[in-house]
Structure 1
Amino acid sequence: MRLALPVLGAQLAQVAMSTVDVAMSGHASALDLAAVSVGSSLWFPLVLFMIGTLMGLTPIVAQHVGARRFSAIRPSVHQALWVALAMGLLCALATRTLAMPLFEFMSVPSDVAVLAARYLQGVSLGLPAIALYETLRFYSDGMGHTRASLQFALLGLAVNIVCNYTLIYGGAGLAGLFGQALPSILHDLPALGAAGCGLATATSMWVMFIAMLAYTRLAPVYRHARVGTRFSWPSPPLIGELLRVGLPVGVAIFAEVSLFTLIALFLAGYGEIVIAAHTVALNFSSVLFMLPLSLGMALTVRVGQALGRGKYRHARFVAYNGLSCALAAAAVVDIILVLAGPAVVSLYSGDTAVRRLAVQLLLIATLFQFSDALQVSIAGALRGYKDTRIIMAVTLISYWGVGVGLGNMLGRGVHGWFDGLGVYGYWIGLVAGLSVAAVLLGWRLMITSRLRRLSAAGP
């Protein structure tokens, strides 16, 4: 819990940054809000893919720490930084060059597309920085120092709020907030709207990276890792190790994100009430999902460090103990969904029909909290074992095969057999997909932990 709670705070702070972007751009104009929403749907999945790939650094560092191989940590971090820089630059180039063709393909209205492209031009300036920051964050997590994630996520949130207000609303907005006694240079700032939101996001990304870089270079908690060469060129073996561990995680996260995007597209034909209720229920449950997600990330560190020390029986104990914590967290989330759901939903929408349907969907969400908490925690434990390819395979089978396939069948129905259940069918498909993932990953963890323990015992 000491490892997980700072990670939880960091995850919530990053969610808050997205919420602030939406809220502040929405107060500028409906066009700015639409541009930010459309632009975010393009760059956010790319960043999650990068983050998942770079997450492979955490078990690598954790096992080095557990084995007291401190001289091996710095070279691994250097190689991860090279990978992060390359991925950040490629994602920045992709968002700048592919935005308008994709918007035209998706039939996005021209005024929204143009403004969304300007927003993405600003965000793209910060994508290399966020990739480098996440690398240092996962290095810090692997060292067992997760509080840094919380500290610099809060710093990024604060910078994002200030820069958003300044760049979105310009001098007129600042004058309305602080009065007319502002320096003339601030009075003359233009209101950039969505484009300013993109620049503010990029600024917060660079501030987070620079602050995290200075912290990891100076803080005493990292002194054991500051041994060996101070610089190393790209090393194919070490980069290969990172990609073998991290790339399947990146693919798995991208598949999960695209699953929810695809379901939203399937629901587009059911009307605005269904779409709005689905968005509200999914957003609220996703915020609560940060608790089991943080436990899974903490499990990666604890399992990895135990394996590094050669304590395979203890690693297995830690993994199953973490699953117990995840089930307890799921019970807490269910209580919140049932008791606080109606009140929270009313904060999202004043439409009675939207609120009624959203509450009903939250009741379905209580069914998949346990399987969702289990699968994300088991995946965290498997990352600690560096056993990540199975996570990618199970995610693709469970989410796309079961979740999308069964959900689409239940939602649309089968001609001549039964009528579709609509949005309820898609949510039942989510329950089934997450449950299958929990079972398959649990089976894999049982086998992996047992084989690792038996191989250590010898003949």
Structure 2
Amino acid sequence: MKTLDPKFTLWALAWPIFIEVLLQTMLGTVDTVMVSRISDDAVAVVGFANQLFNALTTLFMTIASGAGILVAQRIGSDRREDARKIAIMAITVSTAIGLVISVLLFTQARPIARMLHLSEDLLPLSDMYISYVGGGMFLAAMTAALGTVIRNTGNTKGPMMTGIAINLLHIVLNYALIFGSFGLPKWGLAGVTVSDNVCRLLSTVLLMYMFFFSFERRIRIAEFYRTFERKLFGEVLRIGWPLGVNMSCWVFSQLAIYSFLAILGAKELAARTYMNTLESFCFMLGYAFALAVQIQIAHLYGAGRTQEAYKSAYRALFIGLALVTANAFVLFLLGKRMLGLFTSDPDILSLGVSLLGLNLLLQPGKMLNMALGNALNAVGDTRYIMATSLASMGLIATGCSYWFGIHWSGGLIAIYGCMIADEYSRGILSFFRWRDRKYLRRAEAAKQPALAEATWGI
């Protein structure tokens, strides 16, 4: 049996992704703390704007995600020139989408904020933050596309090292420009916008340099406006657009759930926000393995090694389940003390503690959903994941959360229970779909004539 390229082993792919995600989570928390020193209004504007940016990010991630899967598949099947063309097209189109978004946010910040019902007293701050951070979204699009493509070539260490350097710089620049340290001006929230865009630009430059040397034949700048093949790009869209819908489902279901929590009251909203921060540390390792196995399965699937691809999903699932369950149990034991780092309000603490036991149920469901959902994405079964996400997130995560949490006054516990039910519903559906091996069987059937031709010289 042909051995797997060492850079496509599960551990080699997963640990750099974990370090990158861990650092982003930790530094994101520090970032929020620094912005909170400006004012509560500044935190509100940043939180509001980031939800908007996350929703718009799905537009260019549709292309980047689809291209990433195809790059790994093409490298697995040793069609590296196709992989190279797909990668170039992904960067070009993602950047073009990012430029359109940037122009829209830079010129229409206030109308967008009003359309989303941001309060009048926050509009002056939102004008500046949405205009300038949103105006740099094309850099975010380039960074996201470059990082996705580079990871799917098997190089997860490069984006990790870039992420470490840029995120550390971001913290230093934020501190300096918010508070006027190191001889720099004290710009408050405006300093955050400068820091964001400087770091995005540097990240883009570093990843672009790395991208130029990611394939056997060096990529030239002129190829970004000369390379386009309709058939290959059609394949990117075929895989990518359901991924985009899936990401949009998640973003908008979270927005809806947070709006329900706001109806319940500020304490419920705060408790869920704090728990969300703690939970992110629970599933990071699991998320890293889920993303790593997507890259690995796409590579194996492209190479026609379907049996290995099938088993890889379960291997990642079992490892991930062990990790997230252990982390959730540690959080259950230490959660009350950790919640105390955020707040001393007894009502919020009581609500948060009541969610710790439910988190023991939530995390395995998330892992089941992430691992097998990503496995299906890796072989191109993205429409199935889109369909189950639309149904489950729409009916269970959003619909039932409102019905049981608000209409029947079940409150935060009921909403959390609906979130658990949504994760398990999608995870179980993905389990049966993966066990059915539909796409793997199709690949095996397609391989038989090719083997016969090679054997008999037909």
Relative to the length of structure 2, the TM-score reads 0.89
1:424 is displaced (CA, Å) by 0.8
1:49 is displaced (CA, Å) by 4.6
1:279 pairs with 266, 269, 273, which one? 273
1:385 pairs with 376, 379, 385, which one? 379
Task: Tell me how many residue pairs correspond in the alignment.
Answer: 436
Give the 5 Å matches for 1:33-432: 33-169=43-179, 173-174=180-181, 182=183, 186=184, 189=185, 191-218=186-213, 222-224=214-216, 226=218, 231=223, 232-413=226-407, 419-432=408-421
Q: Distance in 2 between matches of 1:120 and 1:18?
A: 18
Residues 423/15 of structure 1: CA separation in 2 closer, same or farther (3 Å cut): same
Structure 2 gap ranges (5+): 1-10, 450-458
Q: Deviations over 1:282-312 (max 9, x none)?
A: 2221342222222111111111111122111
Percentage of pairs with the same residue = 26
Q: Distance in 1 between matches of 2:267 and 2:169?
A: 35
Residues 143/107 of structure 1: CA separation in 2 closer, same or farther (3 Å cut): closer
Residues 215/84 of structure 1: CA separation in 2 closer, same or farther (3 Å cut): same
- AA partner of residue 364 (structure 2): F
1:385 is displaced (CA, Å) by 0.3
1:227 is displaced (CA, Å) by 7.5
- AA partner of residue 117 (structure 1): D
1:416 matched to which residue of 2? none
Q: Distance in 2 between matches of 1:107 and 1:383?
A: 36
Q: Distance in 2 between matches of 1:365 and 1:97?
A: 42
Quick check: 1:16–1:157 contact (8 Å CA) kept in 2?
no
Q: Distance in 2 between matches of 1:77 and 1:124?
A: 25
Q: Deviations over 1:13-63 (max 9, x none)?
A: 333443343222211223322222222221122224533541122221111
Q: Distance in 2 between matches of 1:401 and 1:305?
A: 34
Q: Distance in 2 between matches of 1:281 and 1:98?
A: 34
1:451 matched to which residue of 2? 441
Q: Deviations over 1:102-151 (max 9, x none)?
A: 32244423231221120112212321112112222122211111111211
1:91 is displaced (CA, Å) by 2.1
Residues 295/421 of structure 1: CA separation in 2 closer, same or farther (3 Å cut): same
1:324 is displaced (CA, Å) by 1.6
Quick check: 1:407–1:426 contact (8 Å CA) kept in 2?
yes
1:228 is displaced (CA, Å) by 9.9
Quick check: 1:82–1:234 contact (8 Å CA) kept in 2?
no
Quick check: 1:36–1:194 contact (8 Å CA) kept in 2?
no
Quick check: 1:168–1:192 contact (8 Å CA) kept in 2?
yes
Deviates more, 1:70-79 or 1:29-38: 29-38
1:427 is displaced (CA, Å) by 0.7
Structure 1 gap ranges (5+): 414-418
User: Is the partner of 2:155 in helix, strand or coil?
Assistant: coil
Residues 15/52 of structure 1: CA separation in 2 closer, same or farther (3 Å cut): farther
1:375 is displaced (CA, Å) by 0.7
- AA partner of residue 274 (structure 1): E
- AA partner of residue 451 (structure 1): R
Q: Deviations over 1:325-382 (max 9, x none)?
A: 2222232232232123122211121212211211211221221211110111112111
2:455 matched to which residue of 1? none
Q: Distance in 2 between matches of 1:404 and 1:29?
A: 32
Deviates more, 1:235-244 or 1:275-284: 235-244
Residues 404/227 of structure 1: CA separation in 2 closer, same or farther (3 Å cut): closer
Deviates more, 1:327-336 or 1:49-58: 49-58
Q: Distance in 2 between matches of 1:48 and 1:229?
A: 26
Quick check: 1:57–1:142 contact (8 Å CA) kept in 2?
no
Quick check: 2:239–2:382 contact (8 Å CA) kept in 1?
yes
1:28 matched to which residue of 2? 38
User: Cα RMSD over matched residues?
Assistant: 2.2
1:8 matched to which residue of 2? 18
Residues 297/225 of structure 1: CA separation in 2 closer, same or farther (3 Å cut): farther
Quick check: 1:372–1:434 contact (8 Å CA) kept in 2?
yes
1:223 is displaced (CA, Å) by 4.7
Quick check: 1:74–1:226 contact (8 Å CA) kept in 2?
no
User: Is the partner of 1:398 in helix, strand or coil?
Assistant: helix
- AA partner of residue 441 (structure 2): L
Residue 436 (structure 1) aligned with residue 425 (structure 2):
yes
User: Is the partner of 1:310 in helix, strand or coil?
Assistant: coil
